[in-house]
């Protein structure tokens, strides 16, 4: 397993677009992402969402960018020249790929280059901090000290996402680990086959009894919305599809699907059945009760 460390601004920009595109799934937003959101013009936000629609919510784009980062040590200007000549290096096939690449370059120049330059000192310091902790503790013990978004048993990593993702450590070929200006959690990750990227929040610290963990924040956020509470209530009676829920609540099915993705992150719901193009979800009452107990224990349990 090879470890690539540093700060890769293009990958960080893509993460910010992923978080903006997914909206509620990544709240509460970090300071830098809130600042970016406040500056975005309406048409810029629309373009971010349109590109997300064409690229699996930016997951496909991040996957391809992982490959580029591992294979090349190029400066950002050289990377953009490559993308102008071949947009498919990071974007899925569509009619307006070149205009989408030009939009990414425009956004880099307008927002990201400036913000990254302002925070260059902190980013460099975080790179050295991560390297020090990895050398002291080992990669995965360091990560487990700042996040509870995965478990390790018998050299198998179980990531807390749906669908379930379990990976043998020995099967991982490459890992990119980098600080992130825009990561809204201590630890955010994605992968491309056997290659992974681990984004570490710029303000990430070791978990302490006074700090809510990544998973606790996710669980708390899952309850912090009127529509999501209604969805949970509906699912206590029977399994339902996103379309059925949308019809009852009089909202778009896509809105319901995004809320269900938050519930899948926290394991509040799971798939009971598939019928044609419809997926039926059921509520895992045990996981919901455990989440409420975890929140209660954090607030009222005292500091040990």
**1-21: pLDDT as tens digits:** 999 999 999 999 999 999 999
Q: Is residue 20 part of a domain?
A: yes
Number of structural domains (the chain) is 2
Q: What is the pLDDT of residue 208?
A: 85
Provide the residue range defining the domain that includes 175: 2-201
Which of the listed residues 201, 230, 257 is the one where a domain comes to its end?
201
Torsion angle, CA of 81/85/90/94, rounded to 10 degrees?
A: 140
β-strands 2-5, 174-180: how paired? parallel
Q: Is residue 100 classed exposed, middle or buried when 0-12, 13-18 and 19+ CB atoms within 10 A define those classes?
A: buried
Give the percent of the chain with pLDDT over 90.
79
- Same domain for 43 and 141, yes or no, is yes
Asked whether residue 175 falls in the same domain as residue 116, the answer is yes
d(CA 48, CA 22): 11
Which band of pLDDT confidence, cut at 50, 70 and 90, is reported for residue 114? very high
179 φ/ψ angles, rounded to the nearest 5 degrees? -70, 155
88 and 229 fall within a common domain? no
Binned at pLDDT 50, 70 and 90, residue 303 comes out as low
pLDDT of residue 302: 59
Judgement on whether residues 284 and 181 belong to the same structural domain of the protein:
no
Does residue 249 lie within any of the structural domains? yes
Residue 74 lies inside a defined structural domain of this protein: yes
User: Percent of the chain scored above 70 by pLDDT?
Assistant: 99
Average pLDDT of 66-71? 94
Please report, for the domain that includes residue 251, its CATH number.
Answer: 1.10.10.10
Name residue, tokens 């400066």.
Answer: 75
Please indicate, yes or no, if residue 265 is contained in any of the structural domains: yes
In a domain, 67, yes or no: yes
Q: Is 196 helix (H, G, I), strand (E, B) or coil?
A: strand
- pLDDT (tens digit per residue) in 9-59: 999 999 999 999 998 888 889 999 999 999 999 999 999 999 999 999 999
Do 195 and 218 lie in a common domain?
Answer: no
Mean pLDDT of 83-96: 92
Q: Which of 167, 201, 235 is the last residue of a domain?
A: 201
First to last CA, the chain: 37
Q: For tokens 């509040």, what's the residue?
A: 268
Distance CA 177, CA 14 (A): 15
Residue 250 and residue 152 share a domain: no
With a cut of 90, say whether residue 179 has pLDDT above it.
Answer: yes
Residues 89 and 193 in one domain: yes
Tokens of 103: 């939009």
Token pair recorded at residue 274: 């598939």
Based on the domain organization, do 68 and 167 belong to the same domain? yes
Q: Residue 210 — very low, low, confident or very high, per pLDDT cuts 50/70/90?
A: confident
Q: Is the confidence at residue 290, as pLDDT, over 90?
A: yes
pLDDT tens for 143-177 read 999 999 999 999 999 998 877 899 999 999 999 99
Q: Taking residues 255-272, what's their average pLDDT? A: 89
Residues 112 and 223 in one domain: no
Within this chain, do residues 246 and 186 fall inside the same structural domain, yes or no?
no
Assess if residue 47 is contained within a domain. yes
Same domain, 87 and 164: yes
Looking at the structure, tell me whether residues 163 and 259 fall in a common domain: no
201 phi and psi angles, rounded to 5 deg: -55, 140
Of 148, 180, 201, which marks where a domain is finished?
201
Of the two residues 261 and 43, the one the predictor is more confident about is 43
Bridge partners for 218 per DSSP: none
Looking at the predicted structure, is the pLDDT value of residue 227 above 80?
A: yes
pLDDT of 196: 97
């Amino acid at each position: 397993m090879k470890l690539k460390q540093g700060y890769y601004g293009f990958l960080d920009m893509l993460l910010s677009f992923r978080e903006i595109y997914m909206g509620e799934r990544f709240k509460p937003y970090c300071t830098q992402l809130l600042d970016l959101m406040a500056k975005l013009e309406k048409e810029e936000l629309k373009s971010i969402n349109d590109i997300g629609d064409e690229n699996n919510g930016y997951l496909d784009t991040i996957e391809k960018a992982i490959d580029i980062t591992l294979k090349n040590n190029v400066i950002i200007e050289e990377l953009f020249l490559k993308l102008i000549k071949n947009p498919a290096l990071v974007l899925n096939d569509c009619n307006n790929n070149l205009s989408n690449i030009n939009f990414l370059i425009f956004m880099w120049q307008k927002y990201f280059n400036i913000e990254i330059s302002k925070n260059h000192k902190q980013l460099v310091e975080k790179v050295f901090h991560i390297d020090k902790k990895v050398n002291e503790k080992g990669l995965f013990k360091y990560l487990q000290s700042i996040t509870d978004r995965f478990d390790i048993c018998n050299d198998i990593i179980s990531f807390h996402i749906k669908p379930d993702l379990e990976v043998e450590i020995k099967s991982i070929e490459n890992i990119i680990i980098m600080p992130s200006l825009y990561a809204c959690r201590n630890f955010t990750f994605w992968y491309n086959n056997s290659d992974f990227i681990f984004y570490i929040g710029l303000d990430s610290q070791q978990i302490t009894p006074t700090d809510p963990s990544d998973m606790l924040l996710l669980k708390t956020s899952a309850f912090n919305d009127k529509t999501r509470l209604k969805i949970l209530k509906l699912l206590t009676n029977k399994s339902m599809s996103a379309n059925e829920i949308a019809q009852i609540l009089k909202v778009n099915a896509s809105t319901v699907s995004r809320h269900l993705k938050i519930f899948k992150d926290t394991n509040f719901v799971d798939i009971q059945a598939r019928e044609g193009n419809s997926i039926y979800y059921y509520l895992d009452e045990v996981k919901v009760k455990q989440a409420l107990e975890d929140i209660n224990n954090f607030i009222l349990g005292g500091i040990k």
